[in-house]
Amino acid sequence: MTPPTHKYHWANNEKRKTLKGRKCRIVAYGRMNSCCIEFEDTGQREIVSKRALRRIDANQDRMDG
- Predicted confidence band at 57 (pLDDT cuts at 50, 70, 90)? confident
Segment 5-40, tens digit of pLDDT? 999 999 999 999 999 999 999 999 999 999 999 999
| Domain boundaries, given as residue ranges, for the chain | 6-64
The mean per-residue pLDDT over the stretch 32-52 comes to 96
- Predicted confidence band at 65 (pLDDT cuts at 50, 70, 90)? low
Which sign does the torsion angle of CA 14, 50, 35, 4 carry? negative
Which sign does the torsion angle of CA 36, 39, 45, 46 carry? negative
pTM of the predicted model as reported, rounded to 2 decimal places:
0.82
Question: What architecture does CATH give domain 6-64?
Answer: Roll (2.30)
